[in-house]
Amino acid sequence: MFDIGFSELIVIAVVALVVIGPEKLPKVARTVGHLLGRAQRYVNDVKSEINREMELDELRKLQAEMQDAARKVETDVQTTLRDAESQVNQTVKNIEDDVAELEKAPAVQDGPHKPTP
C-alpha cells in the first residue's frame, strides 16, 4: 500500500515514543494496528466486489451473445425447414399431377403381340 522502509518505521517509532510517551505507546500502536487492519479489509472487500461486478458484467455480455447466436440458429433452422417443406410440397404436387395425367390417359391393354407379316 505505502512504500515505507525499515528506516522510516524506526523514525516514526522514535517520534511516536517521544510525542506519545512510553505509557500510552502500546495502546496507541494496538489501536493503529486495528485501524490499519480494518482499512486493509475494507480495501480488499472493495477490490473483490469490483472484480465480482466486472465478472458479472462479462457474463451478461456473454449471455447476450449466446442468446443472439441461438436466435440466429433458430431462424436459420426455421428457414431451412420452410424451404424443405416447400420443396416436398412441390414434389408431392408434381407427383399428384403426374398420377392424375396417367389416370386420364387411355388404358393400353397388354396382350400377346402377334407379329404382322
Q: What angle do CA 108, 111, 117 make, to 5 degrees?
A: 110
pLDDT of residue 46: 96
Residues 6+ apart with CB under 8 A from 40: 1
pLDDT of residue 116: 60
Q: Which residue has the cell 449471455?
A: 63
pTM of the model: 0.49
Residue type, 9: L
Q: What percent of the chain has pLDDT over 90?
A: 57
SS3 call for 113: coil
Report which of 6, 28, 30 is spatially closest to residue 17, judged by C-alpha positions.
28
The full DSSP string for 11-49 is: HHHHHHHHHH-TTTHHHHHHHHHHHHHHHHHHHHHHHHH
Q: What percent of the chain has pLDDT over 70?
A: 89
pLDDT in tens, 68-109: 999 999 999 999 999 999 999 999 999 999 998 888 877 655
Find out whether 25 and 17 touch, Cβ atoms under 8 Å.
yes
